[in-house]
Chains A and B, each alone.
Chain A
Amino acid sequence: MIALPVAVLWFGGFVLAVLDGTRKPAAWLSVAVLASAILSTMALGITVYQDGPMSLAVGGWSFGVGITLRVDMLSIVFALLSQGVLLAALVYEVVNEVGARIYPAVVLFMGLGLTGLVFTGDAFNFYVFFEISMISAYVLSSYGESPRQFRAAFVFITVNLLGSVFFLIGISAIYHTTGFLDMYRIRDQMPLVQENPAILSATIIFVAFSIKLGLFPFHFWLPAVYTGTRPSVAAILSGALANIGTYGLIRFGADIFPRELRQAAPVLIALGTASIIYGAIQALSRHATNEVLAYSAIGQVGYILIALGIGGPAGYTAAILYTVLNSTNKALLFLSGSLRGWLAGAAFAIGAFSVAGVPPASGFLGKMALFQVGIAEDRPMLVALIFLGGALSFVYMFQLYRRRTAEIEAHDSSPWGAQVVVVMLALVILGIGVWPDPLLNLVERAALSLPEAQVP
């Protein structure tokens, strides 16, 4: 049961790797595979929601010997989020015509990596799934094959390979200090580890995930890559792949290094603030759509980091909620940003309002959650910062939207299929904003699966 979504994607990926993905039937087959993986993840999610976390030792080994798969609500939320974004990008590309035969298979492999990574309970296994999704991302980043994409691909590969190496070093440092690879055992063992080695390994892991996430001092690769890649790839990178960074920070930070996370809280909040301000100012000064969106992505992850830095049940809930909303927003904006026509324009407007935090769209939920945290923790600076960041993002999103409407009038519209896809994604975002209770409930349960959040 636990392994089903991973198995479906794995098998589907292999089958599609030998088929020609530019043909319509094969491309739609990949959509069907991804959709069935989502359905099986949902079924798993319902079981986990009712009965609590599930685990499985792979290969018939006893617990403690074999690799463990462990699924709690946090995993389910992140798996569904990544798979949903991948599905939107895949359908968009299939409707629009797939340009490379390997594209659908690679998207499935990426889904496999992202799903496996959130389902695993073993640190080294985490690294393996992480690399599966990274290698798929390397392939995707060169999709399109013009000089721009190649250059973006090289920047992406070089920087992210360094990130992966850092993560590997961090894992082996954890193994060396605790003697375990199973996350539960590491967590039990971590308080006994001396302070310095623990901080060192926590920092290495933090740097590794920050590179994936494009946080302020590690953001330098992000604009070049997001502007260079094709729209659907940019949507995948910012909406699905960046979730690795957030999930990693939450899982490793709040679950394995809670003590170090608390010690580092001021640093996290400072970095988050720098990210927000830097991202917003850079986004204000740019003109090209993708560039503005790339800098906006740098700014938005700052909020997540601040929520993590504050911690506690409310902080983690806000961080997870913000990740879900931010990923869907970014996917919508990157997909609709390259389309023309009034439907795509409306979808883009919804995404832009969502980022700016204007009520009917879902983005305001995240801002509101952070606001509540800021008030509950009595941090006036934080409230002011959220307000400032929101105002700046409103300005740059509005500028962007105005520039776009000027363009739309001058040109004919894109194919209807692609426009319908982005409109459906926009409706999801709008729907979440109008009826937020299910998502809020889910996210709260996800935060409660972290032991840190259970302590009052």
Chain B
Amino acid sequence: MKLTGSEIVCEALIKEGVDTVFGLPGGAILPFYQTLSGYPQLRHILVRHEQGAVMAADGYARATGKVGVCISTSGPGATNMVTGLAVAMMDSVPIVAITGQVARPAIGTDAFQETDVTGVTLPVTKHNYLVMNAADLPRILKEAFFVARSGKPGPVLIDIPKDVQTELADFDYSIELDLPIQTPILKGKDSDIKKAIKMIEKAERPLILAGHGVILSQAYEELKEFSEKSQIPVVTTLLGLSAMKSNHVLNLGLPGMHGSAFANKAIDEADLIIAIGMRFDDRVTGNLKTFATKARIIHIDIDPSEIGKNILPEIAIVGDAGTVLRQLLPLSPKKTHPKWLQEIDQLRINHPLSYPETDRILPQFIVEEISRITKGQSIIVTGVGQHQMWAGQLYEFKDNNLFISSGGVGAMGFEVPAALGAQVGQPDKVVWTIAGDGGFQMTLTELATMVEANAPVKIALINNFSLGMVRQWQELFYEKDYFATLYTGNPDWVKLADAYGIKGIKVTEKDGVETAIEQAMNTPGPVLVDFQVDKEENVYPFIPPGGGVEQLIEYPDTKVV
């Protein structure tokens, strides 16, 4: 029996284990939507802007480990997804995006709502397809899901002309894929494993630098065991946060531009760095010339093109983080490094992540209170900027895979839709989004989607009436010229929450912080808490861009009250 292109897509989605899709219809995708309405097993969540669809799919994918699916129409619908695709591309998140396209005869004629979507999204997708025959759809869908998941995951876009959506074709999903070089190498070479073990045996001051790859590979136990067996302390990149529980004695947390002084100094003092599933991003390394100058480097990554891209390692192990760790574990030496660990403890004592005791509401205090009240068990979704850094520094993750943030692209506006997606994917978990008043106003339209989707996300709005991080850079590098960063026309957030039919709480006194967080937790449905924080608080430590650990600025004493 022949199916329409739209039916083929729906059947393929079901075969791929999809049960939730995020989207917003329009002219060129309407045939598909009519078909989708007959598939109640595919839950459709109607967003208010296509950027919300792709970012919700992203949050969903990160929280569940499944492929996120988003749908939009042609032209503006598809171009609205570009930022979200870029986020998923840079942060290695598996997404399949389906876009409508004008009918085949109209392609290339500048038809209404026609955009060259495969052209526009080429650099921000792992691969994309323009489907010119419905008969190709089964293979393309199967390939798309395979490519999105395999190796280093990423977004794949499928652009389907309107008349292909109604064209009849056979549906056979048992086809074999023919992607010769797309079989990722999962297992490290034995010879490299042996060499790495020798280096670990010799090392006196080893350090693990764990990234998002550990989380994507769900290698939490392996990382913990490996670290414990040879007593190797761990620092995690922003996207590697919660790869290891924050309260583990060997976990030093976040390094880099806004990482702790002790994590950065540990990198600087290490004689061996074992980098696992991370890509030596500039926010981690700062100046490459002064980064980890005393260390030999082992780089483990599933993507061969990451090896030597920024840092040339002595040993490169191409493979999946979990698989390689399982190879290393039985061979790794039982060791202790009392001197090194003592030194690190001393660094922790001498250079703690600190902020002043004060009556003002400091964002750091809010993050710590959320951490305490949620017992470190909440999924934390952030936007981009100061609040993101405070969340990364201070939330104590007591479980794995709890931190969702736009790391590489750094897209403000990620916080609301990604939290929505995470909550839809993990309905039994508490989801807090820590947002800034800048990014929140980019995508707050998805509050309506949260209400419709029954996604009880708790929103902590770190409201400093400014684009805080940009303002901080102006303060430190641009002669305090606060041009175009101060918000004087923010709405009344409690009234806004009320307009959406959700609970809104305003907090203007430090005493109100704890109560507000508890009230938010105890109120069913989404809650928006407007924390009116100290407007001038800055993020420290801070290594100025392009600098090294010697330029690290700790919390200025003058600000301590």
Do A and B bind?
A: no
B residues with a Cβ closer than 8 A to A are none
